[in-house]
Structure 1
């Protein structure tokens, strides 16, 4: 039998012909935390059941790597689907709604089923039994018509409708002991590696508590993010109102010629929500002197701030906008991160002393000159821009640190109104495959970077992990400090962004490390029918990304 010499995890090893990635992975379990989920070879992910054909270096990913964690989440989700199937039958519809701080929120849509501690105990016992039995997750490649038939027989009509829009002639289904399911992305080799999870009652359903990537031997603590949970629940109602719960429903609005109406309903819901937030500010106008707006990258902060200002003007309140970027310290004093690079996203990159002094003076009624930061020279300048608040006037301040109390520590809380904005995606691919909010924002940013900043898709993907790291440190820990939360996601946007994003993703060379993400996003966007954006109004937040906004963004 022939052998190949392959560099595996930095070691040269001899691999026999016909060896699978899973068989090879057994020799490297000690170098990974928990079970190995997936392999990588030449910027391509490889499922562990695949046979190794080439002598190209191999890496293995456990749950400390984002790709390994995605595989783990899908595997645990399949365990839960199987447990619900075995306990309640094929007509008990499990819906995996969204992610909440690394955990998954789920509901069971079947009359006469009460989600309580006893039900969760039974589900957990079933799932633990599958893990102990170390059952194989068998991958089946079958023709689309056969896959559709299997999904219909199992009462998974959401998946049958999704697959109806698939252009490929073949479909990959996964099986655990007679239960077939369709998942977007790769799966583990067997159930035995999925041994760390818990179930906990939450809202109208329950959470699957999953391991932490940074601390993989422990599950995520069950944070109760009351305000963020409220936004998810509100978005679920919006989906019901618009009759669009998943990608197949969205595609059908295009098929029926109802896409324009969907846009108008969604934009009306946005406008109504912004008006409600403006009303909240207005009712506190005797005390509130500033509105602080914060949110992660590509959440639509600039368009939201402009639309909020219009709503405030309609109430007789005149807003004055301030950008926190203008309070950067001179570049020579910018703090550095652990690698010695300048950290512009640190709150200490701002001149907090000067900012608080200026804000206090403005609140006191003084006329204050506001600085302007010169990004070419890296210094603050004064160009004769003054602000003085009169009666029924207010400051609107936009920047990533707006919810951090350290930013405006010298300003009384009653003078501040804090708004958190994020694109919190509620639309799902189907009942068992959710859409990542991070992926939606990445697609938004990729399109905007190319449209207005001349960056290609690879450059945006390359910087995305650093962007997310900054958000985890500087934005998300403070989101519950908000007085109001605005969800900037639109249910229709991925159908429109698809035509802008796909050429950028297909242009990424397979030799680049960004190709793994590009390939995943290409498959993801493949579920959507493309739609023109001609009916999107020019004040929409989506226009900030595709162009044509009436605002300076």
Structure 2
């Protein structure tokens, strides 16, 4: 009897071909000789991520991905972290590895061994060498599935107790995990087929720990350049210390803290924010005789608007009256707007602003002159003047917020001593467990999904589809200048993902399987399955930065 065939459409080459049932993704890729920029790591099957061992039994649409695709990069990163864990275990049995957070174009990790909190450079070199040996051995990552309690026992036997509570919380009868040689580990997503796929990486001594560097997405044969980000690292370290004080370093701790402690976590998190904003206002006030301009920048959904309003209140307490100046008023006329690589208007380019006029207006304002402020008509694409005049007095200070605020070219004619620069972002400092970090980008994306749905009626599908373009703009115009800041503030709240969970889940469930954004929606839904929800939204203060996204703020936007 002839075996029934199934039709598989490969979107990489737009080819439809028949295969026998149970054909694997690896067999399809080999048969069709799919060539990407880098080795194939997995595939989107009907917009759902799968590894190359996935067996196909029904007609499907398939798109193979490599490390240049976000899902491929996540697979690469998880797999490389497992190799790092094995290398540490091979060289230093009993040592504890923690995958902390992203910084300096890499992932910061720490090792605690022999009662020492810091690892030396020779030990980091040895770990890197062992990782390369493991890669050359091309050891397969073997996926296994067993009853959850058995998986927990296996992991706890390796002292991976940080994963126990979070696996129990999910309530799944069976749990998938991976083996690498004789070591087991649980990662919240797929791994690559074997260690031989992980040829491009580096490991360097960084502060008290190590920086694990990944391939560049634009050139996957090269490691991403290490960029020192001392100020960013200090912010992570400061918040990690606060987390340790509260004894909440990963989601398992947060889930346990629901028993009567969620109100305390909310109050302490908000108090820390208020204290930080107050300290920034004090720094400005202490140098108000010189400082005349406060420049605020940060990526999308960082809470810049609420932060600016809260900072204004703290400045008023210090006797300083802030005056806002919008960069949107300084767009060049439409015919002079630069074009992007697709021939569309690039409104995010610095050249889309009239920098000369902006600087001249600033100089005049700082000299105490009256200045007629331009307005920009987005309907006509032309600059207009409506008679609005601005003049600064002794107790005033200019507040300027925008994606280019920290770019030195924006205010190149203004003396540096007159400027105070603030970088703001939501830098998530809690992780799922010791080996599974939470991407800070995910925190901001979830904020934006909730806000767009509530205030703009945008479905999650639309917000997710726009996100790559938003991220490209941030990479180009914001992140290169973040270390220019005089001060950084982290607006991520320890409790916020637990609050956002019940709000974002029904929005994500609206994304349909036939939409390209389905894979990302499913990934986020799985991510939130590890959290217990905090439903006491009434405990969140009306001035909280989180209110900008969930509603109920006492500020007007």
User: What residue number does 1:536 align with?
Assistant: 540
Query: Which 10-residue stretch deviates more, 10-19 or 159-168?
Result: 10-19
User: What residue number does 1:321 align with?
Assistant: 324
User: What residue number does 2:227 align with?
Assistant: 223
Quote how far apart the aligned CAs of 1:341 are. 1.4
Does 2:212 correspond to 1:203?
A: no
Does 2:466 correspond to 1:463?
A: yes
Per-residue CA distance 1:488-522 (angstroms, 9 max, x = gap) = 11111111111111111000011000001000000
Question: Matched residue of 1:518: which SS?
Answer: helix
1:150-549 → structure 2 map (5 Å cutoff): 150-254=154-258, 256-532=259-535, 533-549=537-553
Does 2:133 correspond to 1:133?
A: no
User: What residue number does 1:18 align with?
Assistant: 22
Give the whole-Å Cα distance in 2 for the aligned partners of 1:54 and 1:325.
Answer: 52
Q: Does the 8 A contact of 2:68 with 2:220 survive in 1?
A: yes
Query: Which 10-residue stretch deviates more, 150-159 or 368-377?
Result: 368-377
The root-mean-square deviation of aligned C-alpha atoms, in Å, is 1.7
Q: Does the 8 A contact of 1:200 with 1:208 survive in 2?
A: yes
Which runs of 5 or more structure 1 residues have no equivalent in the other structure? Answer: none
Q: Does the 8 A contact of 1:29 with 1:35 survive in 2?
A: no
Does 2:114 correspond to 1:122?
A: no
Q: Does the 8 A contact of 1:29 with 1:36 survive in 2?
A: no
Per-residue CA distance 1:164-190 (angstroms, 9 max, x = gap) = 211322211111112111101111111
Query: Which 10-residue stretch deviates more, 103-112 or 497-506?
Result: 103-112
Q: Does the 8 A contact of 2:106 with 2:214 survive in 1?
A: yes
Quote how far apart the aligned CAs of 1:329 are. 2.4
Give the whole-Å Cα distance in 2 for the aligned partners of 1:547 and 1:282.
Answer: 31
Per-residue CA distance 1:280-335 (angstroms, 9 max, x = gap) = 11122111110000011000000111111111111111111112122222334322
Per-residue CA distance 1:62-84 (angstroms, 9 max, x = gap) = 11111111100000000011112
Q: Does the 8 A contact of 2:25 with 2:52 survive in 1?
A: yes
Question: Matched residue of 1:212: which SS?
Answer: coil
Give the whole-Å Cα distance in 2 for the aligned partners of 1:275 and 1:249.
Answer: 29
Poorly superposed stretches of 4+, deviation over 6 Å: none
Question: Matched residue of 1:356: which SS?
Answer: helix
Provide closer, same or farther for how the CA distance between residues 298 and 427 of structure 1 changes in structure 2, counting only shifts above 3 A.
Answer: same
Q: Does the 8 A contact of 1:319 with 1:394 survive in 2?
A: yes
Give the whole-Å Cα distance in 2 for the aligned partners of 1:163 and 1:534.
Answer: 29
Quote how far apart the aligned CAs of 1:418 are. 0.7
Query: Which residue, out of 34, 38, 43, partners 2:42?
Result: 38
Question: Matched residue of 2:358: which SS?
Answer: helix
Q: Does the 8 A contact of 1:64 with 1:214 survive in 2?
A: yes
- Normalising by structure 2, we get a TM-score of 0.95
Does 2:4 correspond to 1:6?
A: no
Give the whole-Å Cα distance in 2 for the aligned partners of 1:302 and 1:383.
Answer: 25
Question: Matched residue of 1:22: which SS?
Answer: helix
Question: Matched residue of 1:63: which SS?
Answer: coil
Give the whole-Å Cα distance in 2 for the aligned partners of 1:480 and 1:28.
Answer: 46
Question: Matched residue of 1:98: which SS?
Answer: strand
Quote how far apart the aligned CAs of 1:244 are. 1.0
Quote how far apart the aligned CAs of 1:469 are. 0.5
Per-residue CA distance 1:133-184 (angstroms, 9 max, x = gap) = 2111111111221122222211111101211211322211111112111101
Query: Which residue, out of 104, 108, 113, partners 1:105?
Result: 108
Query: Which 10-residue stretch deviates more, 468-477 or 34-43?
Result: 34-43
Quote how far apart the aligned CAs of 1:462 are. 0.7
Question: Matched residue of 2:236: which SS?
Answer: helix
Q: Does the 8 A contact of 1:22 with 1:189 survive in 2?
A: no
Query: Which 10-residue stretch deviates more, 103-112 or 450-459?
Result: 103-112
Q: Does the 8 A contact of 1:320 with 1:395 survive in 2?
A: yes
Question: Matched residue of 1:108: which SS?
Answer: strand
Give the whole-Å Cα distance in 1 for the aligned partners of 2:103 and 2:437.
Answer: 12
Query: Which 10-residue stretch deviates more, 98-107 or 71-80?
Result: 98-107
Per-residue CA distance 1:98-152 (angstroms, 9 max, x = gap) = 0124311000123345512221232223222221221111111112211222222
Query: Which 10-residue stretch deviates more, 200-209 or 404-413?
Result: 404-413
Give the whole-Å Cα distance in 2 for the aligned partners of 1:487 and 1:379.
Answer: 37
Query: Which 10-residue stretch deviates more, 80-89 or 496-505?
Result: 80-89
Quote how far apart the aligned CAs of 1:30 are. 6.7
